[in-house]
Structure 1
């Protein structure tokens, strides 16, 4: 778990401290797991909930309520100020590798978006791995979103035609995957999301050797190997194939030219190659590995690999990327695909930020200045909807 924190990262000393704290939590969790006391994941969830997720009093001008939408836990943030007509809405999916994270972990972010943009925000508490595997998380997000769309006007004074979906990291993955799922159905019974808000999204598990994966492979709080681990936890929990996935041995030979068209580093602006990139050795296809993870190459797990005809029908998109993030290029390459299809895309790149920074928004001594800039960029976009 040795880290490599570039000098360009904001508050690099504080990030070193945060990384050390997370390593300590992981080590204690592993010891407890081996002693049979509790699962490592459960310990990490408990520690984060108790010590790293502070819930402050609800500010004036905001009503916050925990409820359920068709049995899916949600937290609804409603501004109480007078509004002429119907408000806009945002359904938000938290990050955490489909394994960690909760409604509480993004509470400050959702409060800020709701109050600063005068938007009704719904934060979704979807079920997590390893207890629940794909597609449970996506199904929960769809259920909650469709429920909100069906009652938005009658119960929340929200215009269902002005409801966006969004999230951070794997929550952004769920938002993008949901938009593609709804675009494929085209049933017309409910309004389609008016936008997708993708904060440093995880969008594909075909290539873990993109420039951003190489340049930021050991930058906290998301390492290259850990991202592959999270994908595998989401799918089936078989982490024995992790190294094969990192090397690209899971991608069938016949699919590689198609994926290369979308994932080639030549599709990135030149400045994103400046910190270095080496073409990886040719991967050796392993059919057993592919069959173990093949759902991971489907668009509902890897939206960046979706068909043109489906992506063409997705809503306007906001993408935020961070320079010191293994997932940086996922967002930039998805932007390229959307632009090639003449889709409306707003892109914000934060040059001094790292993956997971929104989790440190308004968190006291653990706050990072760039976290506010990231969240305020989201607020500015939501105001345009």
Structure 2
């Protein structure tokens, strides 16, 4: 018995020691590879949140190497532990065609049909689920008194583009045709998403804009959306390349995983040598840094030299030029038909300029835009509005702006 107890103590010591080494390594990696600007409030919290994500990814890699599960699967599992229902809402899981959805309906009776919000979660097209965004969907449904429909679209790299887009589009069409069944006014349906979900919301909105057989969308809500993959050297990508929770390299990695199921051409994408110069010039009127207000360049910006690419590389990424993947590249004739829009951007986010450029495109084409810019915000902050001791006030501010916009419709 004494020997067994000693072995248990030694085993426990090894586990604790290994975990402490892992934590120290994660802290060192964060300090060496991340840069949190002075303008970010509560920077220690952000570092802790980032370190937790690093540890989760490393443990996932270890488990993958010893054959227990995949790294992606482990991260998804751990992220899914953060859900939380709300007793004031009726929540149920359904299928719209072949797409899983989760519906959040206020239990308080409504005097008339409610607005409906199709919600597409973020997570780089690879992560995210009903659970990761449950608190957010609950809050939107309760505070704006809306029916929220979260869409469980297929994830990369198992399901490449256009799987996620098609799922979100098909679920939206199904709901718009059956909105009254859920107590929703068909003329008051909004598409909404954060990060990759914002990309999907913009793409779905563009596709539905030309549909005469469906009610017109009332609005689109884009929360720090990623809207293009042609230029990863815009001012925000340069200024915020090391700011958690989305580094510049990660932004390129995720969109390549969504497109091809791998990140084999990430170096070319980051350098800008993945798109021919003539195509870059074609889209430069919409994607030019000149369209970004000067005040967003004061933290530093070095104009990027145009680089050409090989035919072999372009063949692998040419679908980056499709608006259903990169909505910023849609023609004016499509943009002109888009509904009233809400765009949220964060100062310390690599995707900031995607939102700013799309805001300008919408306004130039006569679309009404409500813009919320979080001066102290970083990517992913809105989903941390109610994260216990790791909550950020700016996230709640951003969410309040989303709710107020919805209530104004």
TM range (shorter): over 0.9
Once residues 83 and 117 of structure 2 are traced to their aligned partners in structure 1, the CA distance between those partners, rounded to angstroms, is: 23
State the partner residue of 2:209: 183
SS in structure 2 of the partner of residue 192 of structure 1: coil
TM-score with structure 1 setting the length: 0.96
Work out whether 1:38 is the aligned partner of 2:69: yes
- Write out per-residue CA displacement over residues 187-213 of structure 1, whole angstroms, 9 at most, x where no aligned residue: x22212111100000000000000000
CA distance in 1 between counterparts of 2:385 and 2:97 reads: 30
Within the candidate set 173, 182, 189, 1:156 is matched to 182
Superposed displacement of residue 368, structure 1 = 1.2
CA distance in 2, matches of 1:17, 1:323: 20
1:281 and 1:143 map into 2 onto residues whose CA distance is 40
Q: Residues 25-63 of structure 1: CA distance to partner in whole angstroms, max 9, x if unpaired? A: 11122222223322110111111123xx1424x233x21
- Listed as ranges, the matches of 1:199-210 within 5 Å are 199-210=223-234
* CA deviation string 1:55-77 (max 9, x = no partner): 24x233x2111211112111111
> 1:6 maps to what in 2?
37
Quick one: distance in 2 between partners of 1:353 and 1:318? 17
Match of 1:268 in 2: 292
Q: Which piece of structure 1 moves more, 363-372 or 162-171? A: 363-372
Please list the CA deviations of residues 276-324 of structure 1 after superposition, one character each: whole Å capped at 9, or x if unmatched.
Answer: 0001233132221111011122101100011111111111111000001
Match of 1:328 in 2: 352
Deviation at 1:333, TM superposition (A): 0.3
Hey, what's the Cα distance between the residues in 2 that align with 1:157 and 1:174? 25
Structure-2 residue corresponding to 1:282: 306
**What's the RMSD between the two structures over aligned residues?**
1.2
Partner of 1:55: 84
Cα deviation, residue 152, structure 1: 1.0
SS in 2 for 1:381: helix
| Residue pair 1:54, 1:363 contacting (<8 A) in 2 also | no
Matched residue pairs, number?
Answer: 378
SS in 2 for 1:104: coil
Residue correspondence of structure 1 range 35-184 to structure 2 within 5 A: 35-50=66-81, 53-56=82-85, 58-60=86-88, 62-153=89-180, 155-184=181-210
Q: State the distance in 1 between where 2:267 and 2:321 align.
A: 17
2:12 is matched with: none
Aligned equivalents of 2:83 and 2:131: distance in 1?
A: 8
Give the corresponding residue for 1:22. Answer: 53
List runs of 5+ in structure 1 lacking aligned partners: none
Report the Cα distance in structure 2 between the residues aligned to 1:281 and 1:134, rounded to whole angstroms.
29
Q: Tell me the residue number matched to 1:227.
A: 251
- On the 8 A contact 1:323/1:349 being kept in 2, the answer is yes
Task: Tell me the distance in 1 between the aligned counterparts of 2:228 and 2:284.
Answer: 12
Partner Cα separation in structure 2 for residue 358 and residue 66 of structure 1: 24
Contact 2:228 2:328 in 1 (8 A): yes
Q: Is the 8 A contact 1:231 1:296 kept in 2?
A: no
Please give the TM-score of this superposition, normalised by the length of structure 2: 0.90
Would you say the 8 A contact 2:243–2:348 is kept in 1?
A: yes
Contact 1:165–1:175 (Cα < 8 Å) also in 2: yes
1:357 shift after superposition: 1.1
Structure 1 counterpart SS, 2:76: helix
Secondary structure at the residue paired with 1:326?
A: coil
Q: State the alpha-carbon separation in 2 of the partners of residues 314 and 342 from structure 1.
A: 9
Q: Would you say the 8 A contact 1:127–1:137 is kept in 2?
A: yes
Worse overlay, 371-380 or 30-39: 30-39
Deviates more, 1:114-123 or 1:74-83: 74-83
Specify the SS of the correspondent of 1:122.
strand
SS in 2 for 1:240: coil
Match of 1:312 among 336, 357, 360: 336
Q: Indicate the structure whose relative CO is greater, using CA pairs within 8 Å and at least 6 residues apart.
A: 1
- 2:158 and 2:261 in contact (8 A); partners too: no
| Structure 2 gap segments, 5+ residues each | 1-28
